[in-house]
């Protein structure tokens, strides 16, 4: 961890999702001075709103403490939070931030789908498809119009959707209602059960059921088997890819851009899209090539948290240069960012 060398202004970046919340305090050159972690920071996904609040502010407190800083040292802060889906959600957080972090400089609150946009080229203009535990699609036009998918996603997407779909596929095969798939054996082995009937019981019984979050961990099984030509696993992945691109088209249209014409660059990000198993990013890339052949598509080599840091710096008046972006890549160990 770097030692604060001078009394210049600091910047705060917070990225909150359904698996974790991470906070960083950096100086004006992007050097990390303090880190903090918390649990689920989504006000819709957490057990209670207060749990989400403590995840966010607990992570901030830890980051400030490690940096040896106070809120008055922060010139600019960027909060990119799952569950900021409506204007009143942003207002909720604005009120809490003003109360809990009184004396801090300026800040912005946006849906976590916007976290990755500045990773494309530093400008923050583009469209991001983030496939993590859940889905997040967001677009920003050059004139500043913004749209995220938020509550307008009506498909079970991301890692949780892969896990849920895998369980259904295994049970349907076991019941004689669906095609054969290697997902059945793989899931039974993963959860140490005799058959999908027992697997379903393990996740739905009245007492002692495993939480749904445990099922989401099987997402990598789906990706791996899709890459090994299991037709059912591949169909699950392809269905998600088609849905993600539909939502991307909608978000682009809402900010006045034609996705098919390549008016917005596209970034793929999130733990599922950037997994060691390429099935999801390959499927989304193929669907984009079909629907939006002119779109420039890249796969992120950085975490969304890098993008939040860039937002905090840019909104605080720091120029986002290629050198700054490159420096940030060296500042975030994988162990800290891992779910």
Q: Is residue 48 part of a domain?
A: yes
Residues 148 and 290 in one domain: yes
Query: What is the predicted pLDDT for the residue at 325?
Result: 83
- What stretches in the chain show pLDDT beneath 70? 1-7, 330-339
Query: What is the predicted pLDDT for the residue at 339?
Result: 40
Angle of CA points 153, 156, 160, to nearest 5°: 125
Residues 47 and 32 in one domain: yes
Instruction: Say if residues 196 and 203 touch (Cβ distance below 8 Å).
Output: no
How far, in Å, CA of 329 to CA of 339, rounded? Answer: 18
Tokens of 1: 């961890």
Dihedrals φ, ψ of 76, to 5°?
-150, 140
Q: Is residue 4 part of a domain?
A: no
Residues 314 and 180 in one domain: no
Tokens of 219: 């997402």
Residues linked to residue 131 through DSSP beta bridges, in sequence order: 135
* CATH assignment of the domain containing 328: 3.30.420.40
Range of the domain at 73: 10-104+302-337
Q: Is residue 109 part of a domain?
A: no
Residues 129 and 241 in one domain: yes
Residues in contact with 147: Cβ distance below 8 Å, sequence separation at least 6, in sequence order: 138, 139, 250, 251, 254, 255
Contacts 24+ apart (CB under 8 A), 184-192: 186/218, 186/221, 186/225, 187/218, 187/221, 190/217, 190/218, 190/221
**Which sign does the torsion angle of CA 336, 13, 138, 293 carry?**
negative
Query: What is the predicted pLDDT for the residue at 4?
Result: 56
Q: Is residue 5 part of a domain?
A: no
For the chain, what percent of residues have pLDDT higher than 90? 86
Q: Is residue 255 part of a domain?
A: yes
Residues 288 and 211 in one domain: yes
How far, in Å, CA of 308 to CA of 288, rounded? Answer: 25
Residues 197 and 307 in one domain: no
Residues 236 and 333 in one domain: no
Q: Is residue 1 part of a domain?
A: no
Segment 227-279, tens digit of pLDDT: 999 999 999 999 999 999 999 999 999 999 999 999 999 999 989 999 999 99
How far, in Å, CA of 174 to CA of 179, rounded? Answer: 9
Q: Is residue 236 part of a domain?
A: yes
Number of domain units in the chain = 2
Residues 142 and 79 in one domain: no
Instruction: For residue 223, give the nearest of 284, 176, 279 by alpha carbon.
Output: 279
Place of tokens 């209670």: 48
Residues 85 and 183 in one domain: no
Query: What is the predicted pLDDT for the residue at 327?
Result: 78
Segment 169-204, tens digit of pLDDT: 999 999 999 999 999 999 999 999 999 999 999 999
Q: Quick count: other Cβ atoms within 10 Å of Cβ 87?
A: 8
Q: Is residue 55 part of a domain?
A: yes
């Amino acid at each position: 961890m770097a030692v604060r060398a001078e009394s210049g202004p600091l910047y705060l970046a917070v990225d909150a999702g359904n698996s974790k919340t991470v906070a960083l305090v950096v100086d004006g050159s992007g050097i990390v001075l303090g880190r903090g972690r918390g649990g689920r920071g989504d006000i819709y996904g957490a057990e209670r709103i207060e749990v989400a609040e403590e995840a966010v502010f607990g992570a901030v407190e830890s980051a400030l403490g490690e940096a040896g800083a106070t809120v008055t040292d922060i010139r600019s802060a960027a909060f990119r939070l799952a569950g900021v889906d409506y204007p009143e959600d942003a207002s909720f957080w604005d009120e809490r931030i003003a109360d809990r972090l009184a004396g801090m400089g300026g800040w912005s609150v946006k849906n976590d789908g916007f976290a990755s946009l500045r990773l494309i080229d530093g400008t923050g203009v583009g469209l991001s498809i983030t496939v993590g535990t859940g889905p997040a699609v967001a677009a920003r036009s050059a004139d500043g119009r913004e749209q995220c998918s938020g509550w307008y996603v009506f498909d079970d997407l991301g890692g949780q959707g892969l896990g849920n779909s895998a369980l259904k596929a295994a049970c349907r095969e076991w019941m004689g209602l669906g095609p054969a798939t290697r997902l059945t054996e793989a899931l039974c082995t993963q959860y140490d059960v005799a058959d999908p009937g027992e697997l379903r019981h393990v996740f739905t019984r009245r007492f002692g059921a495993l939480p749904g979050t445990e099922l989401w961990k099987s997402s990598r099984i789906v990706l791996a088997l899709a890459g090994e030509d299991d037709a059912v696993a591949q169909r699950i992945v392809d269905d998600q890819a088609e849905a993600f691109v539909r939502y991307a088209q909608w978000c682009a249209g809402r900010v006045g851009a034609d996705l098919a014409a390549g008016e917005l660059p596209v970034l793929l990000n999130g733990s599922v899209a950037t997994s060691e198993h390429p099935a999801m990013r390959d499927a989304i890339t193929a669907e984009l090539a079909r629907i939006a052949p002119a779109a420039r598509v890249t796969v992120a080599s950085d975490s969304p948290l890098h993008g939040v840091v860039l937002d905090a710096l840019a909104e605080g008046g720091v120029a986002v240069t290629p050198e700054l972006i490159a420096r940030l890549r060296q500042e975030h160990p994988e162990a800290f960012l891992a779910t």
